[in-house]
Amino acid sequence: MSEQEPVKSIVTPTRTEYTFTPGPSAQRYLRALVSGRLIGETCPSCKKVYTPPSGACARCGVATEGEVEVSDRGTVTTFCIVRVPSENIDLELPYCSAQILLDGADSSFFGLIQECPWDEVRMGMRVEAVWKPKSEWGPSAENIRYFKPSGEPDVPFEKIKGSI
Amino acid sequence: MRDVAIASFAQTRYVRSQVRLTEVDMLMPVVQEAVKLSGIPKREIGFTCHGSSDYMAGQSFAFVGAVDALGAWPPIAESHVEMDGAWALYEAWVKIQCGECDSALVFGFGRASMGKLRETMNLQLDPYTLAPLGLDAISMAALQAREMIDAGKITEEQMAKIAARNRAVAKDNPNAQVTGDFEVEKLLAEPYLVSPLRVHDCPPISDGVSAVVLAAGDAIGRGESKPVFIRGIDHRLDSHQLGGRDLTLSPSTKRAGQEAGVHDGPVEFAELHAPFSHQEVILVEALELSGDVLLNPSGGALAANPMMTAGLTRIGEAASRIAAGKAGRGIAHATSGPCLQQNLVCVLEGE
């Protein structure tokens, strides 16, 4: 036995398939995206607006309700410059991913920042969505290609610190 | 030992495929109902623990997503087990025994319909020597049933009778999924699904959630229903390797039953988590239950088998039966893993 090479690896092919259904809130959100609208839902208890809505207010543990249209403009609450590749992400390195507090929402929204030098991206920076051509819109978050600086004055930290 | 009571129990109806609601959508009303019935204000509940498997949802960290249903703000003490919710209840019971809290919220959930459950269950096997053989949930159980038949411990007719009995009593369970009166002769005329198992020998695929609130000390007796006490609880496990054990026996159930004190008093009924018909016989033998014991008054896992919470539901159903005054003392059992690998036994009694 001692003269034999140890078995160092085996290959066990595995594949599992799922048919995911996202629930009523995410469905409403995705359907609104088809017509270029960003919607959120309100917590009946604390009145916070969540975009995208998951159907629940995680703070209160109650179902969100009411469809609220939010803006495609917002404020960068936090960001990072990504310099490492990932198999699942087909983006040129480096790129900037950011959390954006959309006007009218209380939860931050994930987006990419472009058309801005990396060393100028900052918390509090105002940005606006750059959409794909209308003919390419579908029920997908990818309708928004990225966010770019809107040129509006920065928002002070005090005003966004509760939403980071 | 501290007296720990089941203060409340809530559950969804179990359905074949819940495509309209997410796990969080299903959990919110059930968790709220369990907390309300317990009479303990949400903020006073000292610990929360749940059981689920991300393989059901096919999403990593799906279990963390479930916390959205809780309103976990200000932050709560919370834990999770990648097992049936019955083991989450055990963890919460230990916390209470350690004096770390006087109450706990426990829940389990599964939406197995999103994947292909038979194949998903292959992934729990040893990935080197067992999983590559292609065993699935039904074929594993079929091997066990075949061993039972070959050992002369059961017949296909007895298996059909067990399936028919569970589904007949499930007619009284508004949350059950597969219910009705079935003729044994007709069941036996059906073709095999995986020999020697026919469709009726197998559990339905069920989506749903359930929740329990535990109470000790001053937290006992604040709810609407009578507290039901956990007089003993224990869990044990057998070998992961199916070839490494006698599949017709369940030594882990036997030991858990002894440690939990099943026969320290009269056993009026038993809620057994036996997803496959022949497994009920293995459990009855391991727990040394006499013919007088009422088995699965809820219909058991053959009537609804929500993955990751069917065991917790057995405990909840047993507690509800005692709280309603229909029985004084009974037991609940939960299983996890292939062919009854892991087993938990809980002895419940009214005041």
The ranges assigned to domains in chain B are 4-115+205-219
Residue A1: what pLDDT?
Answer: 55
In a domain, A19, yes or no: no
B260: part of which helix (H) or strand (E)?
helix B251-260
Containing structural domain, residue A104: 24-160
Does pLDDT of A164 surpass 80? no
* CA distances from residue B143 to A63, B78, B131, B140, B150 in whole angstroms, order as listed: 45, 38, 15, 5, 11
In a domain, A35, yes or no: yes
Residue B253 to residue B251: CA distance in whole angstroms: 5
Place of tokens 């197995």: B112
In a domain, A90, yes or no: yes
- Rounded to a whole number of angstroms, the distance from the CA of B254 to the nearest CA of chain A is 35
Residues sharing a CB contact under 8 Å with residue A149, sequence separation 6 or more, in sequence order: A115, A116, A120, A125, A126, A127, A128
CB of B285 less than 8 A from some CB of A: no
Average pLDDT over chain B reads: 97
In a domain, A9, yes or no: no
Residues sharing a CB contact under 8 Å with residue A11, sequence separation 6 or more, in sequence order: none
CB of A89 less than 8 A from some CB of B: no
Both tokens of B191, joined, read 């073709």
> Domains in chain A: how many in total?
1
Window A:21-50, CB contacts with B under 8 Å: 21-24, 26
Which of these, B190, B212, B209, lies nearest to B201 by C-alpha position? Answer: B190
Q: How confident is the model at residue A2 (pLDDT cuts 50, 70, 90)?
A: low
Window B:110-169, CB contacts with A under 8 Å: 114-116, 119-120, 123, 127-128, 131-132
Residue A80: what pLDDT?
Answer: 96
CB pairs under 8 A between A and B: 79
pTM for the structure as a whole:
0.94
Residue B14: what pLDDT?
Answer: 98
In a domain, A6, yes or no: no
Place of tokens 């209380």: A106
In a domain, A15, yes or no: no
- Give which of B73, B105, B123 to mutate to test A binding, by max A Cβ within 10 Å: B73
Q: How confident is the model at residue B294 (pLDDT cuts 50, 70, 90)?
A: very high
Residue pLDDT, tens place only, A78-113: 999 999 998 887 888 999 999 999 999 999 999 999
A25 burial type by CB count under 10 A (0-12 exposed, 13-18 middle, 19+ buried): buried
Fold of B4-115+205-219: Peroxisomal Thiolase; Chain A, domain 1 (3.40.47)
Place of tokens 């020998």: B201
Q: How confident is the model at residue A66 (pLDDT cuts 50, 70, 90)?
A: confident
In a domain, A122, yes or no: yes
Count CA atoms closer than 13 A to B272's CA, side-chain side. 28
**From the list A12, A16, A57, which residue is nearest B127 (CB)?**
A12
